[in-house]
Amino acid sequence: MSSEHRVVALASPPLATFELSCAAEVFATVRPGLARHYDFRVCAETPGPVPTLAGYSITVTEGLTALENADTVVIPGWQTRTAPAAVLSALRRAYTRGARIAAICSGSFVLAQAGLLDGRRATTHWRLAAELAERFPAVTVDSDVLYVDHGDVATSAGTSAGIDLCLHLVRADHGAAYAAKVARHMVMPPHREGGQLQYAIAPSRARVSDSLAPLLGWAAERLGEPLTVDDLAAHAGVSARTLARMFAAQLGTSPGQWVLAQRIAGARALLEETDLSVDAIAARVGLSSATNLRRRFHDVLRTTPAAYRRAFRLRTRTESETIPLSDRGDRT
């Protein structure tokens, strides 16, 4: 147990059950065939029954002392948007000690109140962004994105963006392949970039059939091939300009950037799970050459493919030894 990364969620009344569930589902659920890396706990300023927004209470047995040994602290929303002095002090001590602090939705207010977001970019639910910016002018509030991660402090928008942030943290800890397996067990998309829009423009009824899902699936199966915006537009039966508008509205990114993100994600998984050369991986994910892969990799991840492989390859091998042979063909 001591080797597991300890994640502690800090609950406050009235507790948003979905935000807490985001963290619990990602960090606490035991999944057959996957190595367990996290020890998940819940604490509160005052242990005991904690009322929830859903009308029932949960019993929390640990107090703020649980934060003293936390590797990651998750704040799953904070409905009052003002935290007591004891909570702020405990968070500051955890941060100073080196714990990673992640806030979901209105939990960003607590980080801002503790001074952990001063001079930094952060996000929260779009409906709360103006209030966060007004109350904490030292924080640069980005109301559009799904999440913002500075390594030691991270914030996310509301609802499902909390899952995106938690999966992002798993990806940072244990690599893209492991995080993709967790997402697959959850029947979730394996990776949504933090810079994607919190919400999309609702399509009119006449354009419901214009969903990008079929096109994205088609493109994801052809990453090893040259894929231009014109190719995507032709397959979708629309003009390149219309396709760009659809991507901006539904995904908050451009077709080209989306394809590049999928290529990088594919390269990460291959670096973690195979012994293929960088040249072979570049060809397999459609980045043409090792030089191009290294350049793109550095632009996105600020590291090299070789350094990334060294960081994640050993733990991936160790995990594979714990997976039953019948499950090893199930790659994501």
- What is the domain partition of the chain in residue ranges? 5-185, 205-250, 257-327
Query: How far is residue 222's CA from residue 232's CA, in Å, rounded to a whole number?
Result: 11
5-185 under CATH 3.40.50.880, yes or no: yes
For residue 313, pLDDT over 80 is answered with: no
66-73 average pLDDT score: 97
CA dihedral 23, 25, 179, 12 (to 10 degrees): 0
- In eight-state DSSP terms, residue 148 is E
Query: What pLDDT does residue 194 have?
Result: 53
pLDDT digits (tens, 9 = 90+) for 4-14: 899 999 999 99
110-117 average pLDDT score: 97
257-327 under CATH 1.10.10.60, yes or no: yes
Nearest Cα to 73, choosing from 9, 116, 28?
Answer: 9
Domain 5-185 and domain 257-327 have a common topology: no
CB-CB contact of 192 with 164 (8 Å):
yes
Query: What pLDDT does residue 192 have?
Result: 57
Average pLDDT, the chain: 85
SS3 302: coil
For residue 140, pLDDT over 50 is answered with: yes
Tokens of 235: 């397959």
For residue 321, pLDDT over 50 is answered with: no
Of 92-96, 109-113, 118-122, 212-216, which range is least confident? 212-216
Q: What is the pTM of this model?
A: 0.68
